[in-house]
Amino acid sequence: MRLLVVLPLFAAFASANLERRAQPGAVQPPPVELRPLTWGDVNFISTTDSHGWLAGHPRVSDFSADFGDFASFVKNMRKKAERMRKDLFVIDSGDLHDGNGLSDSTPLNGQVSDPIFSSMKYDMLTIGNHELYQNSVAESMHKNYAPKWGKRYLTSNVYIKDANTNKTTPIGHQYSVFHGRYGTKVLAYGFLFNFKSNGNMTVVEKVETTIAQPWFQKSLKVKSDVIVVVSHMSLRYGEAVSIVNAIRKVQPTKPLFLFGGHLHIRDFVRYDGRAAGIASGRFMETVGWMSASGIRNNNKNLTITRRYLNANLHTYKTHALAHPKQKFDTGRGKDITKKITKARKALNLTNILGYSPQDYYLSRYPMTDDRSLLKLVANEVLPAVVDPKKGKPGVVIINSGSQRFDVLKGPFTTDDTFVVSPFHNTFIYTTVKASLVKGIMEGLNTAPFQKRADKLYLENLRENKKGGDQKDGKKPGKNYPLTPGYVTKDDMGTDGDDWPHTPIADVDAPTYIASPLPAGVQPDDEVHIVWLSFFTNLIEPLLKKLDPNTNFAIADYRTDINSNTMWANFVTQKWAKQA
Ligand SMILES: *[C@@H]1O[C@H](CO)[C@@H](O)[C@H](O)[C@H]1NC(C)=O
Ligand SMILES: *[C@@H]1O[C@H](CO)[C@@H](O)[C@H](O)[C@H]1NC(C)=O
Ligand SMILES: *[C@@H]1O[C@H](CO)[C@@H](O)[C@H](O)[C@H]1NC(C)=O
Ligand SMILES: *[C@@H]1O[C@H](CO)[C@@H](O)[C@H](O)[C@H]1NC(C)=O
């Protein structure tokens, strides 16, 4: 009798526990009703720009699944593909580092996160620009990462130099040919955009040069069912268009699929009846889905579908499982989840440094709004941390691009210091008349763009985020209000987002921002200007231009603090107590 009463209760608890996969404390989204995915002759799952976010976003229910859950999702999708006897390929477009403590808090970026990433079973991958800034990281990609994938790691235009001879070799493979499990013969390439800020031990060949090379032209004649280009670039402009045109000259009707990245956006491009491309966002928020039918019977127009999935357990289970009771977790998935939890602990990433009193957003609100992260940085963080103590009042200037993410209300951890401000630039200073400060800020904000990404990044982001109305997306059940999130408009319309959302605003901010000059400073007073080493090359000529007669002595301001550690310093000083 007793058992009969207790069992259902126990079962309820057990299943509630099962829902708590992902990282400890991860919040789960409401079970919104989702439209089934359309499978084709050939199917693709894609990720890009993971930037170390293998733990997912435990505090944002839309994206709270971790990389272990993703592995379980992929395994279950592969089982589904097997039942349908259809090929499914899983693809990553690069940028594994810079943006999260898991990848960036180790002596070598990716030392702990890369092995976790490569315990996933990807079919095709390529390299991102963030793997090439530092020679040591690029060398590790070549020595440790590329060999794990063999011919699945595709780098058609990226080479590494031998330290002794300067001889260049491709970091991965320039192209590969292989068969999917159900017979699809794939010819695959991997391209990086024409990136110029790489370390000097690597060479990025211009895409236009690579596609004119005899090896590339010859490879295009290899017989295949489909051509896949895994790329780290915009799908709409320049390099991608050159690649599509070059392939079409030799293979005018071959089914062609591009996977883009770098811009951190959701996007889909239809190049022609038998060619399309998808970009799958950033930071393990989005998992891209693309399918194509009509490949075998030479249809002039393939039927191609696409969907942008929010990376959470509800999404994964809904699309991967045949029925809700089916087992979702896999051995590999659970193992990856455990490894991430352990690594985050070992790296002290979950240490709570303090408590944010509210949400601060990087680009949802203008700098006049109290919810603006850049306003907080300019008015509170910089004055508190880089406080010009050297006997003079001063201003501290940073490039707003050094700040990369929102700060949410509640615990602020060591990981958050990497998430919000991953780069380690030091502070440099000189002494000027207060009257010069205005000219310096104006000069900086009209200088040629100097981002770690190219200028296209922001333009496309805005273009894309303008979005459109959610027309065809299924509305969530009546108990679930629409939440703010991605609203995407692409070449197929506005029904690409798997979860319907209301759009999030994305407002402009100045490229360079400064802490305010203390009150009472007169134009003729001497003040310190302090800035990040990242743009000393812009400050020096500006000073010369504004005051040609003075030789400004430039020096390190403080050596104990940089653009990453300033956050830990601020939070422990000002936010130590829970509000
Ligand atoms: C490799 O290139 C560097 C930079 O151009 C040069 O200084 C060095 O002498 C070269 N080494 C060899 C072995 O050619
Ligand atoms: C790369 O730059 C470093 C530091 O400036 C220099 O020592 C080295 O010789 C350079 N190597 C090559 C191959 O150019
Ligand atoms: C085939 O696709 C092209 C390009 O996407 C489009 O312009 C054309 O209208 C389509 N034709 C048919 C018959 O669907
Ligand atoms: C983590 O914190 C502990 C205790 O403060 C310290 O002993 C350890 O060295 C830290 N580990 C890392 C990787 O920073």
DSSP secondary structure string for all residues of 190-232? EEE-------TTEEE--HHHHTTSHHHHHHTTS--SEEEEEEE
The band of 94, judged by pLDDT with boundaries at 50, 70 and 90, is very high
Do 315 and 425 belong together in one domain? no
Indicate whether residue 160 lines ligand 4 (CB < 6 A): no
**Pocket test residue of 166, 167, 168, 202 for ligand 1, highest count of atoms within 8 A of CB:** 166
| pLDDT score, position 387 | 65
Q: Residue 551 has which token pair? A: 């030789």
pTM, two decimals, is 0.87
Cα 247 to chain centroid, rounded: 28
pLDDT at 122 over 60: yes
Do 363 and 326 belong together in one domain? no
pLDDT at 530 over 80: yes
Do 444 and 322 belong together in one domain? no
- Section 390-416 average pLDDT: 92
Closest-lying ligand 1 atom to the alpha carbon of residue 161: 1
The band of 480, judged by pLDDT with boundaries at 50, 70 and 90, is low
| pLDDT score, position 187 | 98
End-of-domain residue from the set 323, 346, 369:
346
Do 130 and 272 belong together in one domain? yes
End-of-domain residue from the set 346, 365, 383:
346
How far is ligand 4, taken at its centre, from the CA of residue 232, in Å? 35
Question: Mean pLDDT of all residues in the chain?
Answer: 89
End-of-domain residue from the set 312, 346, 380:
346
Do 66 and 142 belong together in one domain? yes
pLDDT at 15 over 60: no
Indicate whether residue 270 lines ligand 3 (CB < 6 A): yes
Closest-lying ligand 3 atom to the alpha carbon of residue 273: 2
| pLDDT score, position 11 | 33
Tokens 């995915």, located at residue: 37
- Section 57-65 average pLDDT: 94
Q: Is 376 exposed, middle or buried (0-12, 13-18, 19+ CB in 10 A)?
A: buried
Q: Which phi-psi region, left, alpha or beta, contains residue 145 (left: φ > 0; alpha: ψ -120 to 50)?
A: alpha
The count of domains in the chain is 2
How far is ligand 2, taken at its centre, from the CA of residue 200, in Å? 6
Do 394 and 327 belong together in one domain? no
Do 323 and 367 belong together in one domain? no
The least confident of 204-208, 217-221, 422-426, 479-483 is: 479-483
Closest-lying ligand 1 atom to the alpha carbon of residue 165: 13
CATH number for the domain that contains residue 268: 3.60.21.10
Asked if 262 and 128 count as a contact pair (C-beta separation under 8 A), the reply is yes
Do 298 and 391 belong together in one domain? no
Give the tens place of pLDDT for each residue, 362-395. Answer: 999 999 999 999 999 999 999 988 765 667 888 9
Give the percent of the chain with pLDDT over 70. 89
Closest residue CA from atom 12 of ligand 2? 200
Do 46 and 90 belong together in one domain? yes
Per the domain annotation, does 160 fall within a domain? no
pLDDT at 18 over 60: no
- Full residue range of the structural domain in which residue 370 is found: 352-449+511-574
Closest residue CA from atom 11 of ligand 3? 301
Give the tens place of pLDDT for each residue, 309-368. Answer: 999 999 999 999 988 889 999 999 999 999 999 999 999 999 999 999 999 999 999 999
SS3 letters across 468-485: CCCCCCCCCCCCCCCEEE
- Section 432-456 average pLDDT: 75
Closest-lying ligand 2 atom to the alpha carbon of residue 135: 1
CATH number for the domain that contains residue 425: 3.90.780.10
Per the domain annotation, does 61 fall within a domain? yes
Indicate whether residue 272 lines ligand 3 (CB < 6 A): yes
Give the tens place of pLDDT for each residue, 290-304. Answer: 999 999 777 789 999
**Pocket test residue of 111, 112, 348, 351 for ligand 4, highest count of atoms within 8 A of CB:** 348
| pLDDT score, position 67 | 98
| pLDDT score, position 388 | 53
Per the domain annotation, does 360 fall within a domain? yes
Do 286 and 431 belong together in one domain? no
Nearest to 344 by CA among 24, 70, 102: 102
| pLDDT score, position 262 | 96
Closest-lying ligand 1 atom to the alpha carbon of residue 200: 4
Closest residue CA from atom 11 of ligand 2? 200
Do 115 and 12 belong together in one domain? yes
Per the domain annotation, does 171 fall within a domain? no
Do 427 and 330 belong together in one domain? no
Q: Is 44 exposed, middle or buried (0-12, 13-18, 19+ CB in 10 A)?
A: buried
Indicate whether residue 165 lines ligand 1 (CB < 6 A): yes
The band of 21, judged by pLDDT with boundaries at 50, 70 and 90, is low
- Section 149-158 average pLDDT: 98
Per the domain annotation, does 330 fall within a domain? yes
Instruction: Please tell me the distance from the alpha carbon of residue 104 to that of residue 106, in angstroms, as a whole number.
Output: 6
- Section 169-177 average pLDDT: 98
Per the domain annotation, does 298 fall within a domain? yes
Closest-lying ligand 3 atom to the alpha carbon of residue 300: 1
**Pocket test residue of 200, 201, 202, 203 for ligand 2, highest count of atoms within 8 A of CB:** 200
Pocket of ligand 2 (CB under 6 A): 161, 166, 200-201
Give the percent of the chain with pLDDT over 90. 79
| pLDDT score, position 386 | 74
Closest-lying ligand 2 atom to the alpha carbon of residue 166: 13
Instruction: Please tell me the distance from the alpha carbon of residue 135 to that of residue 143, in angstroms, as a whole number.
Output: 12
Q: Report which of residues 508 and 273 the model is more confident about.
A: 273
Per the domain annotation, does 205 fall within a domain? no
Q: Is 169 exposed, middle or buried (0-12, 13-18, 19+ CB in 10 A)?
A: exposed
Per the domain annotation, does 520 fall within a domain? yes
**Angle subtended at Cα 316 by Cα 315 and Cα 317, rounded to the nearest 5 degrees:** 95
Gyration radius from the chain CA atoms? 25
Give the tens place of pLDDT for each residue, 558-573. Answer: 888 999 999 999 999 9
